[in-house]
Structure 1
Amino acid sequence: MSNNVKGFLAATMAAICYGTNPLGALPLYADGINSYSVVMYRYGLAIVIFAVIMLVRRENFRIKLGHAIRLALLGSIFALSSMTLFLSFHYMAAGIASTLLFVYPIMTAMLMTLLFHERITWGASLAILLALSGVALLYHGEGDSKLSTAGFLLVMFSSLLYAVYIVSVNRWSVDIPPLKYTFWVVFFGFIAVYLFSLLAGAPIQMLHTAKDWAFAFQLALLPTVLSLFFMNIAIAKIGSTPSAIMGALEPVTAVIIGVCLFHETITLRLCLGILLILSGVTVIVKQKV
């Protein structure tokens, strides 16, 4: 199997896993658990999962100081991206929030162009126009109603941070195995979320039922451990922009979960918005792959 095939398979798995965020978050919200606590459990349990795997494989945890600084920055960026996305779930349907998040491939392409002089083609320009048109449809909601401005801004900030994370992983190459690399990103992300909760004055709540622990474990395993692990592999194999492009499956996964499990309404505007965003991604795929 070629590196390209491995990279695209890894990116596909990362996208599907990351799209399951609402599956664990919404039930925990319904039980009264605040966003900061949800993300804390997500990262904390992910650290335990990674640590157990590394101990079984007898991998050491030691990293250099320079690597620790870079990984701490990456962990903080990823944690803030997670935090703003989870906060947005309070303002809009999770499926729509996850769909809006998908502008991050466009942001990734723009960052690569602005910061690293990657040539932007007519196809990329068309993709940006299609994606922004899709976002505009989603923002205006159904009829004359609009989505929450606060929720919209939170998702856009989350998307930008995720794009920065993907570009940084690609550019900050360090000679660390993917498992250890991802463990330390999540570890520093956990610390960052705790500091964010202190600044926000949000108490960390206890989980009391087996059901809540099961949802927290799902958040740790799928959209954190597996998604990050596969994304780091994909970036190493095929680069930042193609890896981000494969995130097309994220909003699709989130919308299916939202409609099937949480009875969220699927409207014509939502379908058209998703179609425009995915059309933009398809244009980039033809240009990049």
Structure 2
Amino acid sequence: MNSTLRGTICGVAAAVFYGTNPLGAMNLYHDGITAYTTLFFRFGIAAVMLAVMMLVQRRSFALTRRELLTLIPLGILMGTSSATLYISFNHMDVGIASTLLFVYPVMVAVIMAAFFREKVTAATIISILLSLAGISLLNKSGDGSSLSVLGVTLVMLSSLSYAIYIVVVNKSNLRLSSVKLTFYVLLFGLIPILGVTFATGGTLQMLATPRQWIYATQLALMPTVLSLVLMVVAVHDIGSTPTAILGAIEPITAVAIGVVCFGEAFTPRLAAGIVLILTAVLLIIGGKHLSPQRITVAITRLGRKVVKTWRWK
């Protein structure tokens, strides 16, 4: 198997695995497990898995003071992003929540332009407009009722937290392996989860049945550990941009799980909203490689092919 094919397969698999977040979370919710307990076991079990990987690979767990001071806020950002997303599942369809979450690349572009003086391109502006249009189409759920304002707010906070996380990782220049970085991010990500749980007078529940442990392990393994490892392989083999484009499969997977496993409605309006948001994200990702000349050439070639195919003979 050549590296391009392997990278593509790994990129698709990583996106699909990450899109399985609702599968374990919603089933645990149905058993009465809270979002914070679900996240505690997801992060905790995944951290143990990654620690075992580091031990097998004989990697050091040591951190410098600078690394520690960077990883703690990264963990808090990741914990906040995951917590707000998981809580939003209680207020809206998981497919819609996962699609709204995918506006984070647009937020990254806006943050970089606002705080790091990156040039605002036409692709960025168009992407923002497409995202807003897509979100407006998603303002009603499958049964026609308006979406929960709280649910949408939670997902936007989740997306913003993750966007800031990406910017910090990009600007911090940490010299850590992806496994080690993720291990500590998950470990420190427990800080906001435990903090909010105890601050609100709540308690962590214990998983009581094999079924619950299976779903908790699924959350730790599939959308966390496997998704991470396969994404690293994909980036190495095909590059970051193609891997990011393949990431558009994540919300599609979540929508499919919502429809098939939880009976969520899928309407033409929702489909149009999803397409607009995914188009905005793909435009942001591929924006650096687009230019008016390339777009003109692509449209011209497409037009010639259409004319050639459908012309009267």
TM (normalized to structure 2)? 0.83
Aligned residue number for residue 269 of structure 1: 269
Q: 1:30-41 to 2 correspondence within 5 Å?
A: 30-41=30-41
Structure 2 stretches of 5 or more lacking a match?
A: 290-313
Instruction: Pick the structure with greater CA Rg.
Output: 2
CA distance in 2, matches of 1:44, 1:96: 27
Partner of 2:91, secondary structure, is coil
| Deviation digits for residues 221-267 of structure 1 (CA, Å, limit 9, x no counterpart) | 1222233455678889967x887655322211100111111111111
Q: Which amino acid aligns with 2:169?
A: V
- When the two chains are superposed, the root-mean-square deviation of aligned CA atoms in Å is 2.7
CA distance in 1, matches of 2:288, 2:235: 14
- Alpha carbons 2:93, 2:141 under 8 Å: kept: no
CA distance in 2, matches of 1:227, 1:200: 32
Q: Which amino acid aligns with 1:282?
A: L
Partner of 1:174, secondary structure, is coil
Aligned residue number for residue 203 of structure 2: 203
Q: 1:251-266 to 2 correspondence within 5 Å?
A: 251-266=251-266
Against the structure 1 CA distance between its residues 190 and 233, is the aligned structure 2 distance closer, same or farther, given a 3 Å change threshold? farther
| Deviation digits for residues 82-126 of structure 1 (CA, Å, limit 9, x no counterpart) | 000000000011111111111111101111111222212112211
Against the structure 1 CA distance between its residues 197 and 73, is the aligned structure 2 distance closer, same or farther, given a 3 Å change threshold? same
Segment of structure 1 superposing worse, 100-109 or 113-122 = 113-122
Aligned residue number for residue 62 of structure 2: 62
C-alpha deviation, 1:161, in angstroms: 0.5
Structure 1 stretches of 5 or more lacking a match?
A: none
- Alpha carbons 2:22, 2:258 under 8 Å: kept: yes
| Deviation digits for residues 60-100 of structure 1 (CA, Å, limit 9, x no counterpart) | 21111210111111011001000000000000111111111
Against the structure 1 CA distance between its residues 10 and 157, is the aligned structure 2 distance closer, same or farther, given a 3 Å change threshold? farther
C-alpha deviation, 1:128, in angstroms: 1.3
- Alpha carbons 2:96, 2:138 under 8 Å: kept: yes
- Alpha carbons 1:139, 1:146 under 8 Å: kept: yes
Partner of 1:77, secondary structure, is helix
Aligned residue number for residue 183 of structure 1: 183
Against the structure 1 CA distance between its residues 227 and 67, is the aligned structure 2 distance closer, same or farther, given a 3 Å change threshold? same
- Alpha carbons 2:42, 2:216 under 8 Å: kept: yes
Against the structure 1 CA distance between its residues 142 and 190, is the aligned structure 2 distance closer, same or farther, given a 3 Å change threshold? closer
- Alpha carbons 1:8, 1:238 under 8 Å: kept: no
Q: Which amino acid aligns with 1:77?
A: L
Q: 1:70-219 to 2 correspondence within 5 Å?
A: 70-141=70-141, 145-219=145-219
Partner of 2:247, secondary structure, is helix
Partner of 1:140, secondary structure, is coil
TM (normalized to structure 1)? 0.90
Give the length in aligned residue pairs.
Answer: 288
CA distance in 1, matches of 2:130, 2:63: 43
